[in-house]
């Protein structure tokens, strides 16, 4: 139904009837309303995230390679044209998601970047989200959320260019919309509720571990948190302290964290660090935080293999990565870290290949191609190679035809010779 239906859903679900596409004046007004300290913090996070993305981009190269004398192949890294970024703004206003998504797409070289974020009824998008999206390079900012936002970016509504890829976290409705549209449009990943696993050896600080678990549980009622330890005292201490920390949270945060801890949390006691490592890899968490001796952290980094992002040592914490440290916070959930990493500049680059050969260099590849194709039963492929052999190497072609005739039944001989 196009824009008419999108507006209908915006009115029903966002409870918003204001301007959908923000004007330059509206963007400037929102930016002016953001306190200077928050602006400085956003700029700090933006610079870290931008530099990290730029370092990633430096390590993705075009190249040319001579696979055999005279036969050249290569790789090109082509940025996507249009990217649609979804920035949650319902339960919490995810300023950091605007920075993470827009900045990374921009560094990768996307030519057109749109941002959709759900507006608050009668208010519009959070001013700091507008400021962050504008700072990081968004070309268009829309006050629309949910399924209608994903559909609008995919189908090019409200003057947008249809997106090549849709990225960014969201609730279960946003995740389902992305899943249904995958194929028509690219997506960053199939995302479920955020999850976090903490590993602790006997040196872990119970207060820090409990706080780290609670900090991730507040994401939502269905956000799992797990503790894996080889020390019973730490397991019991954390289990006793977490409910106390949850009770001290503001109401909305307390409700989310309480439900997540009650319904989805697990504490697992292991015999040694090898078993802890095996268990953690089995969970393949989105966030994996190791509380261990500093001298052992390199061992953990070398042995752990399944996670979205790894946080080493008690001095760091998952919220650093969520907000401002540099690596992207759009990460694989629901054990998807078994087969994929998180959002990076790679997601916005098509890694394509090319090949070019001289006449002399084409002989050997043509012979191999023709023989393999016929063995597979793909005669049309074989004849593409045959024609080039006949044109460029007529004497070798005659010998080749004789060898082919020796390997096929008589009724095909005339066809092959012709």
Is residue 222 within 8 Å of 264, Cβ to Cβ? yes
Cβ pair 353, 78 in contact under 8 A: no
Least Cα distance to 146 among 21, 335, 255, 16 occurs for 16
- Contact present, 158 and 142 (Cβ < 8 Å): yes
Cα–Cα distance for residue pair 266/97, rounded to 1 Å:
28
From the candidates 287, 289, 291, 329, which is the catalytic residue?
287
DSSP 34: S
200 Cβ contact list (under 8 Å, min separation 6) = 209, 227, 228, 229, 231, 234, 290, 291, 292
Q: Note if 264 is an active site residue.
A: no
Under DSSP, is residue 226 helix (H, G, I), strand (E, B) or coil? Answer: strand
| DSSP-H helix ranges across 218-272 | 232-247, 251-264
Phi, psi at 193, each rounded to 5°: -60, 145
How many other β-carbons are positioned within 10 Å of the β-carbon of residue 64?
11
CB proximity list for 282: less than 8 A, separation 6 or greater: 306
Q: What distance in Å separates the CA atoms of residue 34 and residue 418, rounded to the nearest whole number?
A: 77
CB 366 within 8 A of CB 389: yes
CB 299, CB 201: distance < 8 Å: no
CA distances from 60 to 56, 345, 363 (A): 7, 9, 33
Catalytic residue among 286, 291, 314, 329: 286
SS3 of 181-195: the string is HECCEEECCCCCCCC
Distance CA 242, CA 319 (A): 17
Catalytic residue list contains 287: yes
Active-site residue numbers? Answer: 286-287
């Amino acid at each position: 139904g196009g824009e008419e239906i999108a507006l209908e859903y915006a009115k029903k679900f966002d409870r918003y009837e204001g301007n959908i596409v923000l004007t330059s004046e509206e963007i400037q007004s929102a930016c002016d309303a953001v306190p200077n300290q928050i602006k400085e913090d956003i700029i700090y996070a933006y610079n870290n995230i931008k530099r990290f993305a730029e370092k990633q981009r430096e390590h993705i190269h075009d190249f040319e390679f001579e696979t055999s004398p005279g036969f050249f192949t290569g790789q090109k890294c082509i940025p996507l044209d249009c990217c649609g970024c979804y920035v949650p703004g319902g339960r919490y206003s995810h300023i950091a998601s605007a920075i993470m998504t827009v900045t990374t797409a921009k560094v990768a070289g996307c030519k057109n970047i749109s941002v959709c974020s759900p507006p608050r009824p009668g208010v519009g998008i959070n001013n700091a989200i507008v400021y962050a999206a504008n700072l990081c390079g968004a070309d268009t900012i829309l006050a629309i959320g949910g399924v209608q936002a994903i559909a609008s970016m995919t189908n090019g509504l409200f003057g947008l260019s249809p997106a090549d890829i849709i990225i960014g976290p969201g609730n279960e409705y946003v995740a389902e919309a992305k899943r249904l549209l995958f194929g028509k449009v690219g997506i960053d990943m199939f995302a479920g509720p955020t999850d976090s696993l903490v590993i602790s050896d006997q040196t872990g600080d119970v207060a820090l571990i409990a706080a780290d678990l609670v900090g991730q549980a507040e994401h939502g009622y269905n956000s799992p948190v797990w503790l894996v330890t080889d020390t019973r005292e730490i397991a019991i201490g954390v289990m006793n302290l977490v409910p106390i920390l949850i009770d001290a949270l503001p109401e909305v945060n307390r409700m989310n964290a309480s439900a997540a801890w009650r319904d989805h949390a697990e504490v697992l006691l292991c015999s040694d660090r090898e078993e802890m490592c095996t268990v953690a890899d089995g969970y393949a968490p989105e966030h994996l935080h190791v509380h261990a001796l500093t001298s052992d952290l390199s061992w953990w980094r070398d042995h752990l293999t399944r996670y979205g992002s790894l946080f080493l040592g008690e001095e760091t914490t998952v919220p650093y990565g969520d907000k401002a440290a540099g690596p992207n916070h759009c990460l694989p959930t629901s054990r998807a870290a078994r087969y994929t990493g998180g959002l990076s500049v790679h997601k916005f680059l098509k890694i394509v290949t090319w090949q070019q050969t001289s006449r002399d260099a084409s002989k050997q590849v043509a012979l191999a191609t023709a023989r393999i194709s016929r063995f597979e039963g793909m005669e049309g492929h074989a004849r593409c190679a045959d024609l080039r052999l006949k044109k460029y190497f007529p004497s070798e072609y005659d010998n080749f035809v004789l060898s082919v005739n020796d390997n096929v039944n008589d009724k095909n001989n005339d066809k092959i010779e012709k």
